[in-house]
Amino acid sequence: MTRSIRPLVAGNWKMNGLKADLAIATEVARGYDASLKAAVDLAICPPSTLLFTATAALIGSRIATGGQDCSVQPAGAFTGEVSAAMLADAGASFCIVGHSERRTLHGEDNATIRAKAEAARKALLVPIICVGETQGEREAGKALAVVRRQLKGSVPEGLDAASLVIAYEPVWAIGTGLTPTAADVAEMHAAIRSDLARIVGKNAAAGVRLLYGGSVKPSNAAELMNVANVDGALVGGASLKAEEFLAIARACA
Ligand code: PEP
């Protein structure tokens, strides 16, 4: 953790969740007690169909909501797309962009992700920009180079610390139960912080929240969250269980 940075734990529900599952969000809100509120920010990124109702259900809880992706376009004839302004209108404060499932399954490249991050900022959303290497890239000793290239290509210049979140998510750790060693996470997060200084400036980079994501669970959260330059977590599977999500938040606090 970075002492001067308030941590963020964000839940990525992915393509999971019907109206009945909003009970998960309200259970998280019930467990987000005064001591947790004093120590850690929480956000839930449900599918966009639930964003409006999730935001309404969380009013008064101080838990933010976010989208999982946004269009690079502001509006118009783009069937099936959801604009950043629509997410903001539905109550979102954050928007995940560049998740590895978007990069891999939808062929999104760094330029597209940067455009999405810029679209998010125009709508006053805070982009959570995801970066991370594949297993093959790590085994080939290219993890640092890959992530540095992703950062350079997908992070817009000139953002301040409050307008940007970076999530380091090794692709091979997402949904697999595998996690990198604390030393590998420390090395990567230090490199991200130092490269960010060249993109957004030294002062902003020092305050940007750098999340770790990939198989974060209550059992490994404390170790991962104690790594230098890890300022919270992006949580997939465990964010669908209120008690697990809260336990991860407690590990950050
Ligand atoms: C994710 O999809 O962003 C993620 C981190 O998933 P999981 O926690 O399930 O590995």
Residue 37 has pLDDT above 80, yes or no: yes
CA dist 143 and 134 (Å) reads: 8
Report the nearest-CA residue for atom 7 of ligand 1: 236
Report the nearest-CA residue for atom 8 of ligand 1: 236
Known active-site residue 189: no
Q: 3-state SS string over 64-117?
A: EEEECCCCCCCCCCCCCCCCHHHHHHCCCCEEEECCHHHHHHCCCCHHHHHHHH
CA dist 92 and 248 (Å) reads: 22
- Report the pLDDT value the prediction gives residue 3, as an integer from 0 to 100: 74
**Tens digits of residue pLDDT in 95-121:** 999 999 999 999 999 999 999 999 999
**Tens digits of residue pLDDT in 55-67:** 999 999 999 999 9
Ligand 1, pocket residues at CB < 6 Å: 12, 169, 174-175, 213-216, 234-238
Report the nearest-CA residue for atom 2 of ligand 1: 236
**Tens digits of residue pLDDT in 172-202:** 999 999 999 999 999 999 999 999 999 999 9
Enumerate domains of the chain plus CATH numbers. 8-233+248-252 (3.20.20.70)
Looking at 101, 108, 137, 169, which residue is catalytic?
169
- Report the pLDDT value the prediction gives residue 116, as an integer from 0 to 100: 98
The share of the chain scoring above pLDDT 90, in percent, equals 98
- Report the pLDDT value the prediction gives residue 1, as an integer from 0 to 100: 77
- Report the pLDDT value the prediction gives residue 183, as an integer from 0 to 100: 98
Known active-site residue 139: no
- Nearest one of 224, 221, 230, 213 to 248, comparing CA atoms: 221
What is the sign, positive or negative, of the torsion defined by CA atoms of 111, 115, 118, 124? negative
List the binding residues for substrate. Answer: 12-14, 175, 215, 236-237
Residue 138 has pLDDT above 80, yes or no: yes
- Report the pLDDT value the prediction gives residue 4, as an integer from 0 to 100: 87
Q: What does pLDDT average to over the chain? A: 97
